[in-house]
Amino acid sequence: MPLPPNSQWNYPTAVRFGIGRIAELSAICKDLGMQRPLFVTDPQVAKLAATQECIRALAAAGLAAQSHTDIQPNPVEANVTEGKRVYRAGQCDGVIAFGGGSALDVGKAVALMVGQTRPLWDFEDREDWWKRVDPTRMARVIAVPTTAGTGSEVGRAAVITDVRDHVKRIIFHPRMMPACVILDPALTVGLPPHVTAATGMDALSHALEAFCAAGFHPMADGIAVEAMRLIADALPRAYRDGCDLEARAQMLVASSMGATAFQKGLGAMHAMSHPCSALLGSHHGLTNAVVMPYVLAWNEPVVAERLGRLAAYLSLKHPSFSGVLDWVLELRGLLGIPGRVDALGVREEHIEALARQAHVDPSAATNPCQLSVTDFENLFRCALAGELPNAGAMRG
């Protein structure tokens, strides 16, 4: 397939897509009034040649960028607090969030917090807590993803772990949406196969859960199904050949599409993944990939007709729920994704605590069928044993 042309669009924010578009970063900063941006990335990405070249280009353009790289794979409040300190000490006037989902989430949270007097957790995505924010004192963000998975570059929230109780909390405000996004597929070429697989399956989980989520949002559904079509074609190729720029490009677009679609909602995959990451430190995308078929099987009575339509759109061999489930299982095996949650460190003694957190996770609210704590316990046990649930027969 030909490489997609360089393009610009304005949905859900200003997006510049294409090979080499990272060269426009300095000009975008100036257009947004940034002279001293805070460059937020994680320690590993900070070492990459492409990152160092980007920082040199900012300096050459006369921009006095400050760096914040103190970010954990599952970021915590302290990472945001330190970023806020560096921002203020450097008299910064905007944020460049550069890297994977962790860096993007921290960058957006720092941009929110630099002008606030209340603590971070006062802005958790509950009821109308977002109205506590003083939006006039938020910093603007330029988002540059270097992985194709989270789609945080087009999101209005950040996921931060609260170490007091090891719970992932969603910090939300409508203006957390980055002012501009650069989607440059060349920045994702260096991803190793296992990271490509885990982040790619994260993108799939976003689109798939959004498509299945409770509620009426046909625009999100349309974006979700096209994202899954792109992933079905491109993810195996990007995994096999990390230098396949066309596959990398399609995955980067699909990642942003999945995150745009999940404005509709997510579901039990994410509700299960969040406590695993918070309690056990598991990779978010990998965890979504491991639990995906178990959640699909649990939801079958509610989503079978819908997934039959998806199967037809994806031109699967069997245009049915089982066709989609078989495709997910085959894709998971092709990418070397483990089949059980014990590979993530989950043990029987963890299940009660994981189930309690999953039950109250915001993502659970839009699962196509509601799950009790006992349901989540049963679902975790199925995923631990490697046995797909029997179409809702185990519901509590």
pLDDT, tens digit, for every residue of 349-394?
A: 999 999 999 999 999 999 999 999 999 999 999 999 999 998 555 5
Q: Is the dihedral of CA 67, 69, 70, 75 positive or negative?
A: positive
| Close Cβ partners of 362 (under 8 Å, ≥ 6 residues apart) | 125, 170
Cα–Cα distance measured from residue 333 to residue 292, given in angstroms and rounded to the nearest whole number? 13
Tell me, rounded to whole angstroms, the distance of Cα 204 from its chain centroid: 10
Give the model's pLDDT for residue 123. 98
Helix axes 268-280, 351-360, angle to 10 degrees: 130
98-133 residue pLDDT tens: 999 999 999 999 999 999 999 999 999 999 999 999
Distances (CA, A) of 363 to 91, 127, 162, 356, 389: 37, 14, 17, 13, 20
The whole-angstrom separation of Cα 147 and Cα 109 is 19
Residues 6+ apart with CB under 8 A from 349: none
pLDDT tens-digit series, residues 145-174: 999 999 999 999 999 999 998 999 999 999
Task: Answer whether 1's CB lies under 8 Å from 246's CB.
Answer: yes
pLDDT at 4: 86
Hey, do 7-187 and 192-385 end up sharing a CATH topology, with the first three levels equal? no
pLDDT level of residue 85 (50, 70, 90 thresholds): very high
Does residue 342 carry a pLDDT above 60?
A: yes
Under a CB-based contact definition with an 8 Å cutoff, are residues 28 and 180 in contact? Answer: yes
| Assigned fold of 192-385 | Dehydroquinate synthase-like, alpha domain (1.20.1090)
SS3 50: helix
pLDDT 10s digits, 275-288: 999 999 999 999 99
pLDDT given at position 394: 52
Q: Which two tokens stand for residue 347?
A: 């043990």
Average pLDDT over residues 216-239: 97
Average pLDDT over residues 306-335: 97
CA distances to 191, 252, 258, 316 from 186, rounded to whole Å, are 10, 10, 20, 30
| Mean pLDDT estimate for the chain | 96
Distance CA 257, CA 263 (A): 11
Structure confidence at residue 190 as a pLDDT band (50, 70, 90): confident
Share of the chain above pLDDT 90, in %: 95
For the cut 90, the answer to whether the pLDDT of residue 1 exceeds it is no
- Amino acid identity, residue 38? L
* Confidence (pLDDT) at 240: 97
Which is nearest to 368 in space by CA: 230, 153, 159, 211?
A: 211
Give the pLDDT band (50/70/90) at residue 68.
very high
CA distances from 6 to 28, 98, 185, 241, 251 (A): 16, 20, 11, 22, 15
CA 75 from centre of chain: 13
pLDDT for 353 equals 97
Q: Which structure tokens are listed for 15?
A: 């997006």
Backbone phi, psi, residue 76, to 5°: -120, 170
β-strand partners of 202: none
Q: Cα-Cα-Cα-Cα dihedral of 214, 219, 224, 227, to 10°?
A: -170
| Class of CATH domain 7-187 | alpha beta
Asked if residue 326 lies in contact with residue 300, where contact means CB atoms within 8 angstroms, the answer is no
Integer Cα distance of 12 and 53 in angstroms: 29
Residue ranges covered by each domain of the chain: 7-187, 192-385
Residue 396 clears pLDDT 60, i.e. is over it: no
